[in-house]
A and B are shown apart, each in its own frame.
Chain A
Amino acid sequence: MGYQLKMRVWRGDESGGDLGDYTVEVSEGEVVLDALHRVQATQAGDLAIRWNCKAGKCGSCSAEINGRPRLLCMSRLSDFEEDETITVTPLRTFPVIRDLVTDVSFNYEKARELPSFAPPPRDADNKRRMAQVDVERGQEFRKCIECFLCQNVCHVVRDHEENKPAFSGPRFFLRYAELDMHPLDTHDRRELAQGAAGLGMCNITKCCTEVCPEGIKITDNAIIPMKERVVDRKYDPLVWLGNKIGLRTKDNDGRTEV
């Protein structure tokens, strides 16, 4: 059964813009991206939307629906009342390019700042080995589709543009945690996570976890464990003492600080 859906869609660019009103016919089972595509096809041919897979796996169609950061393709219209007006805006943390498309290059700059995985030399049979239980630990982090909704919702940069140079954001804390927990990585990233990546700026208010479309427990499983590892490295006098007298050496075995 189709019905007429009322939408407000932000139209504009860096010089300014406004919410435009549209009424579009939609059908049962459709998602917000379908409705926007119909607006684009029938009423606003120049409406800019970034999208690709329509399956919640490419991370392209991130936007804000009724003020909440979400993937357009994973937001079912059945989650809203039929007479409800759905407001769609671009991500509000990144510079807008046009309409619903933003410039997310901040995230790629931060990715470049993160030293990549540094494995040790191979074993004599030219292989590297790690146990299944250690492989499984990082699998949750590898579900990330880089939609950057967590980066967008994080108030550290969303509400404070000036923090962007000093703060990598939740997506990259996830990567720091994944690598720091990796038994084969030869880099100790704790100092870097605290210093260059700005882990201390995070006040663990968990919005990144709330918006993650992959359901990754970013705060509990990556950021807080990473914070605890930084405490080991920087703030815990007992760990420092244990290191000095050789009782606590497992944090460092086989790796060097970057």
Chain B
Amino acid sequence: MTTGVHGPTRAAIDEKTLRQDRWWLPPLTTFVVFSAFVVYATVRAFMGSDYYASPYLSPFYSPCLGDCVEGASDFGQPFRAWPLSAALLILIFPLGFRMTCYYYRKAYYRAFWLSPPACAVAEPKTKYTGETRFPLLIQNVHRYFWYAAVLVGLVLSFDVVLAFRNEEHEWGHMGLGTLLMLINVVFIWLYTLSCHSCRHTVGGRLRHYSKHPVRYKLWTWVSRLNTDHGRYAWYSLFSVALVDLYIFLIANGTIEDVRFF
């Protein structure tokens, strides 16, 4: 039986949507950019080389816990026996954080699942159960990935501090890579702290704000950031890819780092 907007009780209109604007442009853009990022990140993650150009460590490989090149492992090499790229050990956390993120879910449900492709545009699938069943039930672990993302954020911040050195690891220097890493970590923190699970954890879950003034204050700050969560998701996606690309190009000798001082 026909269902949805062509169901028997609904107004008989042949078109799946009567929208005349370019409603397909945002999901198409998301599809193209996300796909490009996934391809780039996959290639870089499996590459296992050109991720460290002293003093810069690519965010895809940080912390470098596998069998990494000299100088890259600031937290030791507990997984030295791991036969594959060290990025694969660590990327699962930021990847999981973004895959279960409430903003990214909206974006990829629209762009990849077409569920729906845009508002008031009929989706192609005939059956829909939302996030009630496995595997999409797993989206509920988002807060655990957020806990991990905070740790990753701290590690990336430490990397930025280390980037204020020169190639010989002498302090008090800065290059274009340092600046890019600094910008990246700011966007990473904005994205991480504007997370909906963060908002819930710091105070959203309470029922009496009047009894918890400090957490209420924290909640208002996170709420302010949260309104731009989607924007930070995009900015940090670009910045992390850009930093990795910059370090990749230095490490394989294509370009030289621009040193400020």
Q: Footprint of B on A, CB under 8 Å?
A: 10, 12, 14, 16-19, 64, 66-69, 87, 89-90, 92-96, 102, 130-134, 137, 153, 155-156, 158-163, 180-183, 198, 200-207, 210-211, 217, 219-220, 224-225, 227-232, 234-236, 250-251
Contact = CB atoms under 8 A, between A and B. Distances in A.
Interface stretch (B67-75, B151-159, B202-210): B202-210
Nearest to B199: A225
A31 to B, nearest CB: 19
Given A159-B4, A231-B143, A220 B226 contact: yes
Given A16-B12, A204-B105, 12 more contacts: A67-B18, A92-B120, A102-B11, A137-B209, A159-B5, A161-B7, A161-B9, A198-B130, A201-B129, A203-B136, A205-B109, A228-B143
B12 A12 contact: yes
Contacts of B208: 131, 134, 183
A145 B13 CA distance: 27
B102 to A, nearest CB: 5
A89 B140 contact: no
Interface of B: 3-5, 7-13, 15, 17-21, 102, 105-106, 109-110, 115-116, 119-123, 125, 127-132, 136-137, 140-143, 196-197, 199-200, 204-210, 216, 226-227
Contacts of B205: 228-229, 232, 251
Nearest to B206: A250
Contacts of B110: 205
A163 B19 contact: no
B120 A160 contact: no
Q: Is the interface of A mostly helix, strand, loop or mixed?
A: mixed
A156 B131 CA distance: 11
Contacts, number: 169
Given A10-B13, A16-B12, A228 B116 contact: no
Nearest to A14: B9
A159 B3 contact: yes
A75 to B, nearest CB: 14
B207 A181 contact: yes
B13 A153 contact: no
B115 A87 contact: no
B70 to A, nearest CB: 39
A159 to B, nearest CB: 4
Nearest to B220: A133
Nearest to A217: B227
A200 B120 contact: no
A200 B131 contact: yes
B130 A93 contact: no
Nearest to A181: B207
A225 to B, nearest CB: 5
Given A12-B12, A159-B128, A205-B116, A66 B20 contact: yes
A68 B23 CA distance: 11
A63 to B, nearest CB: 10
Given A181-B207, A220-B226, A67 B17 contact: yes
B120 A68 contact: yes
B196 A201 contact: no
A10 B5 CA distance: 14
A158 B5 contact: yes
Nearest to B7: A161
A201 B131 contact: yes
Nearest to B119: A207
Contacts of A205: 106, 109-110, 115-116, 119
B135 to A, nearest CB: 13
Nearest to A167: B130
A200 B116 contact: no
Nearest to B20: A66
20 contacts: A14-B8, A16-B12, A66-B21, A67-B20, A69-B120, A92-B5, A155-B116, A158-B5, A158-B122, A159-B116, A160-B4, A161-B4, A162-B3, A163-B128, A201-B129, A219-B106, A228-B143, A228-B196, A228-B200, A250-B206
